[in-house]
Amino acid sequence: MKNKRNVLYSLIIMLTGVIYFPVQAQQKNDAQDAVETKDVSTSQGPNRMVRTIKQDRRGNIWLASTEGIIRYDGKLFTNITSKAMQARFFSVLEDKKGNFWFASVGSGVYYYNEKSFKNYTTKDGLAGDQVTNIYEDKTGNVWFGTGVGASRYDGKSFQNFKMKEGPVPTGADSIHVSVYQHPIPDGSWMHNDVNSIIEDKTGKFWFGTRGYVSIYDGKTFTTVTNKEGKPFANVRSIIKDKKGNIWLGGYDGLWRYDGITFTNFAQKFVGNIYEDRKGNIWTSSESASGKGWSLLRYDGKTLSDNKPVVTEVKSGEPMIFGIIEAKDGSIWFGTVNGVCRYDGVTFNDFKAK
Protein backbone atom coordinates (compact mmCIF):
# COMPACT_ATOMS: atom_id res chain seq x y z
CA MET A 1 0.00 0.00 0.00
CA LYS A 2 2.85 2.38 0.86
CA ASN A 3 4.48 1.77 -2.54
CA LYS A 4 1.15 2.51 -4.25
CA ARG A 5 0.85 5.74 -2.29
CA ASN A 6 4.42 6.72 -3.20
CA VAL A 7 3.72 6.14 -6.89
CA LEU A 8 0.57 8.29 -6.72
CA TYR A 9 2.33 11.12 -4.89
CA SER A 10 5.21 10.98 -7.36
CA LEU A 11 2.64 11.42 -10.15
CA ILE A 12 1.14 14.35 -8.23
CA ILE A 13 4.55 15.98 -7.97
CA MET A 14 5.22 15.49 -11.69
CA LEU A 15 1.87 17.03 -12.63
CA THR A 16 1.94 19.90 -10.16
CA GLY A 17 5.65 20.48 -9.77
CA VAL A 18 8.18 22.52 -11.67
CA ILE A 19 11.96 22.30 -11.83
CA TYR A 20 13.07 25.85 -11.21
CA PHE A 21 15.80 27.82 -12.90
CA PRO A 22 15.66 31.05 -10.85
CA VAL A 23 16.85 34.42 -12.10
CA GLN A 24 18.23 37.08 -9.75
CA ALA A 25 15.68 39.92 -9.34
CA GLN A 26 16.71 43.43 -10.34
CA GLN A 27 14.50 46.38 -9.40
CA LYS A 28 13.22 48.75 -12.07
CA ASN A 29 10.38 51.22 -12.20
CA ASP A 30 8.22 50.08 -15.08
CA ALA A 31 7.02 46.72 -16.30
CA GLN A 32 7.54 45.54 -19.83
CA ASP A 33 5.63 47.47 -22.45
CA ALA A 34 1.90 46.79 -22.65
CA VAL A 35 0.81 44.18 -25.17
CA GLU A 36 -2.51 44.62 -26.94
CA THR A 37 -4.85 41.65 -26.65
CA LYS A 38 -6.62 39.69 -29.37
CA ASP A 39 -9.43 37.32 -28.53
CA VAL A 40 -10.23 33.85 -29.86
CA SER A 41 -13.66 32.41 -28.93
CA THR A 42 -15.23 28.95 -29.13
CA SER A 43 -18.24 27.13 -27.72
CA GLN A 44 -16.00 24.30 -26.49
CA GLY A 45 -13.97 24.30 -23.30
CA PRO A 46 -10.22 23.78 -23.06
CA ASN A 47 -8.70 20.33 -23.64
CA ARG A 48 -5.67 20.70 -21.41
CA MET A 49 -4.96 21.26 -17.74
CA VAL A 50 -6.97 23.94 -15.91
CA ARG A 51 -5.27 24.86 -12.63
CA THR A 52 -7.35 27.74 -11.21
CA ILE A 53 -10.96 28.90 -11.70
CA LYS A 54 -12.42 32.22 -10.51
CA GLN A 55 -15.65 34.13 -11.14
CA ASP A 56 -15.49 37.90 -11.55
CA ARG A 57 -17.95 40.49 -10.24
CA ARG A 58 -19.86 40.41 -13.54
CA GLY A 59 -20.32 36.65 -13.48
CA ASN A 60 -17.69 35.65 -16.03
CA ILE A 61 -15.73 32.48 -15.29
CA TRP A 62 -11.94 32.76 -15.66
CA LEU A 63 -9.72 29.74 -16.22
CA ALA A 64 -5.94 29.66 -15.80
CA SER A 65 -4.74 26.84 -18.02
CA THR A 66 -1.82 25.54 -19.99
CA GLU A 67 -3.72 26.70 -23.10
CA GLY A 68 -3.85 30.28 -21.81
CA ILE A 69 -6.20 32.50 -19.83
CA ILE A 70 -9.75 31.68 -20.85
CA ARG A 71 -12.91 33.66 -20.03
CA TYR A 72 -16.37 32.06 -20.17
CA ASP A 73 -19.36 34.43 -20.44
CA GLY A 74 -22.04 31.74 -20.20
CA LYS A 75 -21.97 30.98 -23.91
CA LEU A 76 -18.45 31.19 -25.30
CA PHE A 77 -14.95 30.42 -24.06
CA THR A 78 -12.58 33.22 -25.08
CA ASN A 79 -8.83 32.66 -24.93
CA ILE A 80 -7.61 36.18 -24.27
CA THR A 81 -3.91 35.31 -24.37
CA SER A 82 -3.65 33.00 -27.37
CA LYS A 83 -2.45 35.73 -29.74
CA ALA A 84 -0.66 37.88 -27.18
CA MET A 85 1.71 35.40 -25.50
CA GLN A 86 2.63 31.78 -24.98
CA ALA A 87 2.78 30.88 -21.28
CA ARG A 88 1.70 28.17 -18.83
CA PHE A 89 -0.79 29.87 -16.52
CA PHE A 90 -1.41 28.61 -12.99
CA SER A 91 -3.55 31.24 -11.26
CA VAL A 92 -5.85 34.20 -11.83
CA LEU A 93 -7.06 37.01 -9.53
CA GLU A 94 -9.48 39.90 -9.94
CA ASP A 95 -8.29 42.63 -7.58
CA LYS A 96 -10.43 45.13 -5.64
CA LYS A 97 -10.17 47.63 -8.49
CA GLY A 98 -11.56 45.18 -11.04
CA ASN A 99 -8.26 44.54 -12.80
CA PHE A 100 -6.80 41.06 -13.30
CA TRP A 101 -3.54 39.34 -12.46
CA PHE A 102 -2.32 36.12 -14.08
CA ALA A 103 0.45 33.91 -12.70
CA SER A 104 2.61 31.93 -15.10
CA VAL A 105 5.29 29.31 -14.70
CA GLY A 106 8.38 30.77 -16.33
CA SER A 107 7.15 34.18 -17.50
CA GLY A 108 6.37 35.96 -14.24
CA VAL A 109 2.99 37.65 -13.75
CA TYR A 110 0.71 39.61 -16.06
CA TYR A 111 -1.48 42.59 -15.19
CA TYR A 112 -4.58 42.94 -17.36
CA ASN A 113 -7.01 45.87 -17.47
CA GLU A 114 -9.18 44.24 -20.18
CA LYS A 115 -7.46 46.36 -22.82
CA SER A 116 -3.81 45.41 -22.59
CA PHE A 117 -1.26 43.40 -20.61
CA LYS A 118 1.79 44.36 -18.59
CA ASN A 119 4.33 41.69 -17.75
CA TYR A 120 6.27 41.77 -14.45
CA THR A 121 9.32 39.53 -13.99
CA THR A 122 12.45 39.32 -11.87
CA LYS A 123 13.74 42.32 -13.83
CA ASP A 124 11.01 44.37 -12.14
CA GLY A 125 11.73 42.99 -8.66
CA LEU A 126 9.52 39.89 -8.60
CA ALA A 127 11.14 37.16 -6.45
CA GLY A 128 10.97 34.55 -9.20
CA ASP A 129 9.41 33.98 -12.60
CA GLN A 130 7.91 30.62 -11.61
CA VAL A 131 4.64 31.90 -10.08
CA THR A 132 1.85 29.52 -9.08
CA ASN A 133 -0.54 31.55 -6.89
CA ILE A 134 -1.84 35.07 -6.27
CA TYR A 135 -3.53 36.58 -3.22
CA GLU A 136 -4.82 40.08 -2.38
CA ASP A 137 -4.73 41.09 1.29
CA LYS A 138 -7.08 43.35 3.26
CA THR A 139 -5.12 46.49 2.40
CA GLY A 140 -5.04 45.80 -1.35
CA ASN A 141 -1.48 44.53 -1.60
CA VAL A 142 -1.12 41.69 -4.11
CA TRP A 143 1.00 38.69 -3.08
CA PHE A 144 2.64 36.23 -5.44
CA GLY A 145 3.89 32.79 -4.47
CA THR A 146 7.02 31.83 -6.42
CA GLY A 147 9.51 29.00 -6.36
CA VAL A 148 12.02 31.11 -4.42
CA GLY A 149 9.79 32.94 -1.94
CA ALA A 150 6.83 35.33 -1.85
CA SER A 151 6.52 38.80 -3.38
CA ARG A 152 4.24 41.58 -2.17
CA TYR A 153 3.29 44.31 -4.64
CA ASP A 154 1.93 47.61 -3.31
CA GLY A 155 1.20 49.14 -6.71
CA LYS A 156 4.68 50.63 -7.07
CA SER A 157 7.29 48.05 -6.18
CA PHE A 158 7.87 44.49 -4.99
CA GLN A 159 9.03 43.42 -1.55
CA ASN A 160 10.30 39.85 -1.37
CA PHE A 161 10.16 37.38 1.52
CA LYS A 162 11.77 34.04 2.32
CA MET A 163 10.27 31.71 4.89
CA LYS A 164 13.72 30.31 5.71
CA GLU A 165 17.22 31.22 4.61
CA GLY A 166 18.68 28.69 2.23
CA PRO A 167 19.96 28.08 -1.29
CA VAL A 168 17.77 28.59 -4.33
CA PRO A 169 16.76 25.50 -6.32
CA THR A 170 18.78 24.45 -9.34
CA GLY A 171 18.03 22.44 -12.44
CA ALA A 172 19.37 19.37 -10.63
CA ASP A 173 16.84 19.59 -7.78
CA SER A 174 13.94 17.16 -7.82
CA ILE A 175 11.30 15.90 -5.39
CA HIS A 176 10.14 12.40 -4.53
CA VAL A 177 7.41 11.70 -2.02
CA SER A 178 9.91 9.88 0.22
CA VAL A 179 11.40 13.26 1.15
CA TYR A 180 8.27 13.94 3.24
CA GLN A 181 8.77 10.78 5.28
CA HIS A 182 11.70 12.44 7.03
CA PRO A 183 12.25 15.89 8.60
CA ILE A 184 13.04 18.50 5.95
CA PRO A 185 16.24 20.43 6.77
CA ASP A 186 15.80 24.11 7.66
CA GLY A 187 18.11 25.06 4.81
CA SER A 188 16.10 23.28 2.12
CA TRP A 189 14.91 25.37 -0.84
CA MET A 190 11.54 23.63 -0.52
CA HIS A 191 10.57 25.92 2.40
CA ASN A 192 10.59 28.89 0.01
CA ASP A 193 8.64 27.24 -2.81
CA VAL A 194 5.25 28.84 -2.08
CA ASN A 195 2.03 26.98 -2.96
CA SER A 196 -0.57 29.09 -1.13
CA ILE A 197 -0.98 32.36 0.81
CA ILE A 198 -3.79 33.51 3.13
CA GLU A 199 -4.29 36.29 5.69
CA ASP A 200 -5.99 35.15 8.89
CA LYS A 201 -8.44 37.10 11.07
CA THR A 202 -5.59 38.43 13.24
CA GLY A 203 -3.72 39.89 10.26
CA LYS A 204 -1.01 37.22 10.18
CA PHE A 205 -0.08 35.55 6.91
CA TRP A 206 0.07 31.81 6.33
CA PHE A 207 2.36 30.40 3.65
CA GLY A 208 1.95 26.83 2.42
CA THR A 209 5.14 25.59 0.77
CA ARG A 210 6.63 22.41 -0.62
CA GLY A 211 8.43 22.30 2.70
CA TYR A 212 6.48 23.34 5.80
CA VAL A 213 3.74 25.87 6.57
CA SER A 214 4.93 29.17 8.04
CA ILE A 215 3.12 32.07 9.74
CA TYR A 216 4.40 35.63 9.25
CA ASP A 217 3.50 38.20 11.92
CA GLY A 218 5.07 41.15 10.12
CA LYS A 219 8.51 40.52 11.60
CA THR A 220 9.34 36.82 11.72
CA PHE A 221 8.33 33.52 10.15
CA THR A 222 7.33 30.66 12.46
CA THR A 223 6.87 27.04 11.39
CA VAL A 224 3.35 25.77 12.14
CA THR A 225 3.00 22.46 14.00
CA ASN A 226 0.02 20.37 15.10
CA LYS A 227 -0.73 19.29 18.68
CA GLU A 228 1.89 16.52 18.41
CA GLY A 229 4.50 19.07 17.38
CA LYS A 230 4.64 17.82 13.79
CA PRO A 231 4.90 20.41 10.98
CA PHE A 232 2.54 20.36 7.99
CA ALA A 233 4.39 19.28 4.84
CA ASN A 234 3.74 20.23 1.21
CA VAL A 235 0.50 22.12 1.86
CA ARG A 236 -1.04 22.85 -1.53
CA SER A 237 -4.09 24.86 -0.41
CA ILE A 238 -4.94 27.17 2.52
CA ILE A 239 -8.31 28.89 2.95
CA LYS A 240 -10.08 30.92 5.63
CA ASP A 241 -13.73 29.96 6.12
CA LYS A 242 -16.64 32.23 7.04
CA LYS A 243 -16.01 31.68 10.76
CA GLY A 244 -12.36 32.62 10.44
CA ASN A 245 -11.05 29.05 10.72
CA ILE A 246 -7.97 28.17 8.68
CA TRP A 247 -8.04 25.01 6.56
CA LEU A 248 -4.89 23.27 5.31
CA GLY A 249 -4.72 20.65 2.56
CA GLY A 250 -1.59 18.78 1.54
CA TYR A 251 0.59 15.75 2.15
CA ASP A 252 -0.75 15.31 5.70
CA GLY A 253 -4.40 15.41 4.61
CA LEU A 254 -7.11 17.92 5.57
CA TRP A 255 -6.84 20.01 8.76
CA ARG A 256 -8.81 22.84 10.38
CA TYR A 257 -7.41 25.39 12.84
CA ASP A 258 -9.91 27.33 14.98
CA GLY A 259 -7.32 29.61 16.57
CA ILE A 260 -6.56 27.14 19.36
CA THR A 261 -6.76 23.55 18.12
CA PHE A 262 -5.95 21.66 14.92
CA THR A 263 -8.53 19.05 13.89
CA ASN A 264 -7.79 16.38 11.29
CA PHE A 265 -10.57 15.45 8.82
CA ALA A 266 -8.68 13.29 6.32
CA GLN A 267 -5.26 11.66 6.11
CA LYS A 268 -5.00 11.18 2.36
CA PHE A 269 -3.34 13.84 0.23
CA VAL A 270 -5.57 16.90 -0.36
CA GLY A 271 -4.83 19.23 -3.25
CA ASN A 272 -7.55 21.90 -3.16
CA ILE A 273 -10.05 23.24 -0.60
CA TYR A 274 -13.11 25.44 -1.11
CA GLU A 275 -16.00 26.60 1.10
CA ASP A 276 -19.38 27.13 -0.59
CA ARG A 277 -22.12 29.55 0.47
CA LYS A 278 -23.78 26.95 2.71
CA GLY A 279 -20.56 26.36 4.64
CA ASN A 280 -19.83 23.00 3.01
CA ILE A 281 -16.16 22.23 2.46
CA TRP A 282 -15.16 20.81 -0.94
CA THR A 283 -11.82 19.11 -1.53
CA SER A 284 -9.91 17.31 -4.22
CA SER A 285 -8.26 14.26 -2.75
CA GLU A 286 -6.78 10.89 -3.44
CA SER A 287 -9.68 8.50 -4.04
CA ALA A 288 -10.59 6.08 -1.25
CA SER A 289 -10.03 3.24 -3.72
CA GLY A 290 -6.57 4.56 -4.54
CA LYS A 291 -7.54 4.87 -8.20
CA GLY A 292 -7.40 8.49 -9.29
CA TRP A 293 -8.80 11.52 -7.51
CA SER A 294 -12.16 12.38 -5.97
CA LEU A 295 -14.22 15.53 -5.53
CA LEU A 296 -15.48 15.40 -1.93
CA ARG A 297 -18.05 17.51 -0.05
CA TYR A 298 -17.98 17.81 3.74
CA ASP A 299 -21.42 18.76 5.09
CA GLY A 300 -21.00 22.10 6.84
CA LYS A 301 -23.69 21.29 9.41
CA THR A 302 -21.74 18.24 10.63
CA LEU A 303 -18.21 19.64 10.74
CA SER A 304 -18.36 19.76 14.55
CA ASP A 305 -19.40 16.10 14.78
CA ASN A 306 -16.94 13.31 15.51
CA LYS A 307 -17.68 11.90 12.06
CA PRO A 308 -18.86 14.63 9.67
CA VAL A 309 -20.91 13.60 6.65
CA VAL A 310 -18.66 13.27 3.59
CA THR A 311 -20.03 12.74 0.07
CA GLU A 312 -17.88 11.56 -2.83
CA VAL A 313 -19.39 13.67 -5.62
CA LYS A 314 -17.08 12.46 -8.37
CA SER A 315 -14.23 9.97 -8.55
CA GLY A 316 -11.76 8.53 -11.01
CA GLU A 317 -10.33 11.81 -12.32
CA PRO A 318 -6.55 11.83 -12.97
CA MET A 319 -6.32 15.12 -11.02
CA ILE A 320 -8.75 17.80 -9.81
CA PHE A 321 -7.81 21.48 -9.38
CA GLY A 322 -9.28 24.90 -8.63
CA ILE A 323 -12.74 24.29 -7.13
CA ILE A 324 -15.26 27.19 -6.99
CA GLU A 325 -19.00 27.72 -6.59
CA ALA A 326 -20.47 29.97 -9.29
CA LYS A 327 -23.20 32.51 -8.57
CA ASP A 328 -25.84 30.10 -9.90
CA GLY A 329 -24.81 27.50 -7.30
CA SER A 330 -23.00 25.18 -9.70
CA ILE A 331 -19.60 23.79 -8.74
CA TRP A 332 -16.73 24.17 -11.19
CA PHE A 333 -13.41 22.36 -11.05
CA GLY A 334 -10.38 21.99 -13.25
CA THR A 335 -8.91 18.72 -14.47
CA VAL A 336 -5.94 17.51 -16.46
CA ASN A 337 -8.23 17.50 -19.51
CA GLY A 338 -10.04 20.83 -19.11
CA VAL A 339 -12.87 22.12 -16.94
CA CYS A 340 -16.06 20.60 -15.55
CA ARG A 341 -19.29 22.06 -14.13
CA TYR A 342 -21.53 20.19 -11.69
CA ASP A 343 -25.11 21.46 -11.32
CA GLY A 344 -26.03 19.09 -8.50
CA VAL A 345 -27.18 16.37 -10.88
CA THR A 346 -25.01 16.19 -14.00
CA PHE A 347 -21.46 17.03 -15.05
CA ASN A 348 -20.62 19.05 -18.16
CA ASP A 349 -17.06 19.09 -19.49
CA PHE A 350 -17.97 21.43 -22.38
CA LYS A 351 -16.51 19.05 -24.96
CA ALA A 352 -18.06 18.43 -28.35
CA LYS A 353 -20.65 15.67 -28.20
191-227 confidence digits (pLDDT tens): 999 999 999 999 999 999 999 999 999 999 999 999 8
Mean per-residue pLDDT, 90-101: 97
Q: For position 26, what pLDDT does the model report?
A: 36
102-153 confidence digits (pLDDT tens): 999 999 999 999 899 999 999 999 999 999 999 999 999 999 999 999 999 9
Output 40 or 115, whichever has higher pLDDT.
Answer: 115
∠ Cα 218 221 225 (to 5°): 130
User: pTM for the whole thing?
Assistant: 0.88
